[in-house]
Amino acid sequence: MKILLTNDDGIEAEGLKYLLDWAKTKGEVCIFAPKVQQSAKSHSIKIHDPYEVKKVDSFGDIEAYSVDSTPADCVRVAVLGMKKRFDLVISGINNGPNLGGDIHYSGTVAACFEAAQNGIKAIAFSTAFNSFDNAIKNIDRAYNKILARKMLDFADIVNVNFPEKGDEILITRMGPAIYSDDFEFLPDGSIKPCLVCLYNGTRNLELDTDATMTGHISMTPLENDLTDFPAFEMIAKKVG
């Protein structure tokens, strides 16, 4: 199996090294990762200016490239630019959770959406901030659960979040956003975003937010198609 690894924390990120150590046991691995931190870049890409793609040798015998752009562009360069073929794209291990509505901002998950858009199944792995031990301990269990449940037969993407502690795996759906921002208006006219946690502890373990925040490993199937199908069917009937 040919596997593309990427992330949004950058090619020197701790989580990517852990992911590589594990992924090498699953197949032939190649890395395309951002040159610098790209968190919260969502599915953005560069379309006007050229950017650097540089082969790096810091991963031993693993073919690896530093891409001076976003996670989505990392996938695009590998698949559309260099015409490489992969059976699976894995993004992570992200330093920080990607849960609920915050998934829309995630560069980690956006790389998986770009993979799916190009016909490649994908998995995103994220963990609690600065806490990789539980993810390393359980990543193989999580991957085997994905295979056992044939999740990628039914979904384009599986979004996996590891809590700081806890190893029970739950299949979940997207919950609400758990973070927002207050904005500080500075004297020089600039604005500083200040992170605010919205999580209210409802303990609905069907939601990825509540499952992970209460010490469970959450697995959420995602897809690229953003169509609101109930609305589409209702509107189409009325128009018809």
pTM: 0.94
Domain with 20 in it: 2-175+204-239
Q: Is residue 195 part of a domain?
A: no
Length of the chain as a residue count:
240
In a domain, 185, yes or no: no
How far from 17 is each of 34, 80, 105, 185, CA to CA, in Å? 14, 25, 23, 38
Q: Is residue 161 part of a domain?
A: yes
Total tally of structural domains belonging to the chain: 1
Residue 192 maps to a domain: no
Q: Residue 187 domain-assigned?
A: no
CATH of the domain at 55: 3.40.1210.10
What span, in angstroms and rounded, lies between the C-alpha atoms of 113 and 44? 11
Q: Is residue 180 part of a domain?
A: no
Buried b / exposed e over 178-207, threshold 16 CB at 10 Å, is: bbeeeeeeeeeeeeeeeeeeeeeeeeeeeb
d(CA 145, CA 140): 9
Kindly state whether residue 67 falls inside one of the protein's structural domains: yes
Task: Return averaged pLDDT per consecutive 10 residues of the chain, 240 residues in all.
Answer: 97 97 97 95 93 95 97 98 98 96 95 97 96 97 97 97 97 92 93 88 91 96 90 79
197 domain residue, yes or no: no
